[in-house]
Amino acid sequence: MPQEQSRLTIRARITCPHCWNEFAPEESLWISEHPDLIGDTRLGPEYAIRFLPSRFTAEGDAIDAEGQRTSRLACPACHLEVARPLYQIAPVFFSILGAPASGKSYFLASMTWRMRQLLPTEFGVAMTDTDPISNARLHEYEEQQFLNPNPDQLIAIAKTQVQGDLYDTVNMGSHSVQYPRPFQFNLQPMQKHPNHKRSSSISRVMCLYDNAGESFLPGQDTASSPVTRHLALSRCLFFLFDPTQDARFRRACEGKTNDPQMLPRNERLARENSVRQDTILLEAIQRVRRYAGLREDQLHQRPLTIVVTKWDSWRELLPGLSNEPPYVAIPGAPMKVLDGDRIESVSKQVGDMLRKYTPEIVAAAEGFAQHLTFLPVSATGLAPEVDPATGSFGIRPRNMAPYWVEVPMLSALSRWCPGLVGMLETKMKSEV
Ligand SMILES: Nc1nc2c(ncn2[C@@H]2O[C@H](COP(=O)(O)OP(=O)(O)OP(=O)(O)O)[C@@H](O)[C@H]2O)c(=O)[nH]1
Ligand SMILES: [Mg+2]
Ligand SMILES: [Zn+2]
């Protein structure tokens, strides 16, 4: 019996992945199962009623007002469903931020797709959907890009909207609040993993969000739409910097790429239509400090990764940089590990490149983060084409060949969630 209990340890505090409220497990509401128990005060007429139970089955499930047993739980503040694994496994939040069209949605889709393949085969870590319903949008992206039955047809991920079906609306009485839907994954060491026995302490529920770039602009995160509050909980921030949106990078790449996004733009129009990417980073820094209750002069102690997107479009600026995956096998060990020296050296070269063309981005990052990494990614592997039917950019699924897209997340996991993914570092830190 004690053994059984230790396997099923319930965490003392749960963090809601929707509204980020922290609560004790016994404060949880349960979700009615009986089909007549419809119409929740906070979520609306089509949602099952949430309730505090007074009757339980012998197995510990709650019994709803119509006598039906239920095992689904919800947050006492927002009433949205909190998946069971969050009651037993520690969550880790990562924030992905960047200007509109910087490549956040493509990055997320290609990254989760690659991680689903690589983690179990190369690193001995199982990656499963914590809640398949809330991950549905990501599944759509992944299927469209990588499992499309019409691989030669031009497809595109739609621009992320600031409201709509990626959000849940909660009626808080006097006002309603819109929360972004989290993407949640269980990461657990498999049987073959050397830390399998420590599974209960090193496993994580990884929570990610896909925001619209506009939500990172000053004034766009409000009490009724607190869509970027995950920044405060984030273990590591990923700022997506898009060189194609910077006139200095576009000039440097002239004649060196066929990506239509790198073509010279009418500079006046470009200035009016695009946002300065350092504004987005500085605003995010402000928000982290504000939400975490830090003063301006207090250093933020969490790490920052500058992810330089669309690597395929600016490769010629660093022609010596190989896009071979940075994973190494260790003789006699069952799992691969990250090649820490190579990642460090790539980070240095990419950081130097940014310092040359966009010093303000590096300055903003250095003024904020304690641990700073610069990593290049290509979510597609090649430039998009203009779709003659719509005039917008598209990709043919057959051509999708992402590289390094999962490296920022694997590096962050290895550094900030020790025990899941290993990293080999031979250089002394002082040499770097
Ligand atoms: N060349 C190249 N283009 C890319 C890559 N990833 C994304 N793109 C292009 O960048 C554009 C924007 O990508 P999205 O992922 O939709 O950008 P986003 O940051 O989600 O934008 P919002 O949803 O508006 O905030 C698309 O037209 C893609 O074709 C890449 O790896 N290489
Ligand atoms: Mg998007
Ligand atoms: Zn909640």
- Does residue 212's CB lie within 6 angstroms of at least one atom of ligand 1? yes
Q: What is the pLDDT of residue 273?
A: 64
Q: What is the pTM of this model?
A: 0.94
- Does residue 103's CB lie within 6 angstroms of at least one atom of ligand 1? yes
Q: What is the pLDDT of residue 299?
A: 62
Q: How far is the CA of 99 from the centre of ligand 2 (A)?
A: 9
- Does residue 380's CB lie within 6 angstroms of at least one atom of ligand 1? yes
Q: Residue of the nearest CA to atom 21 in ligand 1?
A: 101
Q: How far is the CA of 329 from the centre of ligand 2 (A)?
A: 35
What count of other Cβ atoms lies within 10 Å of the Cβ of residue 372? 15
Q: What is the pLDDT of residue 2?
A: 39
The per-residue pLDDT string of the chain (432 residues; one tens digit each, 9 = 90 and over) reads: 334 334 558 999 999 999 999 999 999 999 999 999 999 999 999 999 999 999 999 999 999 999 999 999 999 999 999 999 999 999 999 999 999 999 999 999 999 999 999 999 999 999 999 998 889 999 999 999 999 999 999 999 999 999 888 899 999 988 999 999 999 999 999 999 999 999 999 999 999 999 999 999 998 988 888 999 999 899 999 999 999 999 999 999 999 999 999 998 776 666 666 678 999 999 999 898 888 777 666 665 679 999 999 999 999 999 999 999 999 999 888 899 999 999 999 999 999 999 999 999 999 999 888 899 999 999 999 999 998 888 889 999 999 999 999 999 999 999 999 999 999 988 754 433
Q: How far is the CA of 78 from the centre of ligand 3 (A)?
A: 4
- Domains of the chain (ranges; CATH) run 10-85 (no CATH), 89-431 (3.40.50.300)
Q: How far is the CA of 213 from the centre of ligand 2 (A)?
A: 7
Q: Which ligand is nearest to the CA of 17?
A: 3
Q: How far is the CA of 113 from the centre of ligand 3 (A)?
A: 27
Q: What is the pLDDT of residue 318?
A: 98
Q: What angle do CA 259, 263, 265 make, to 5 degrees?
A: 145
Are 268 and 324 in contact, with CB atoms under 8 Å apart? no
Q: How far apart are CA 168 and CA 181, in angstroms?
A: 7
Are 95 and 210 in contact, with CB atoms under 8 Å apart? no
- Does residue 104's CB lie within 6 angstroms of at least one atom of ligand 1? yes
Q: For ligand 1, pick from 97, 104, 105, 106 the residue to mutate: most ligand atoms within 8 Å of CB.
A: 106
β-strand partners of 128: 186
- Does residue 209's CB lie within 6 angstroms of at least one atom of ligand 1? no
Residue from 367, 357, 376 nearest 282 by CA: 367
Residue 406 phi, psi dihedral angles, 5° rounding: -95, -10
Q: How far is the CA of 198 from the centre of ligand 1 (A)?
A: 39
* Residues in CB range of 344: below 8 A, 6 or more apart: 425, 427, 432
Residue 272 phi, psi dihedral angles, 5° rounding: -70, -35
Q: What is the pLDDT of residue 369?
A: 86
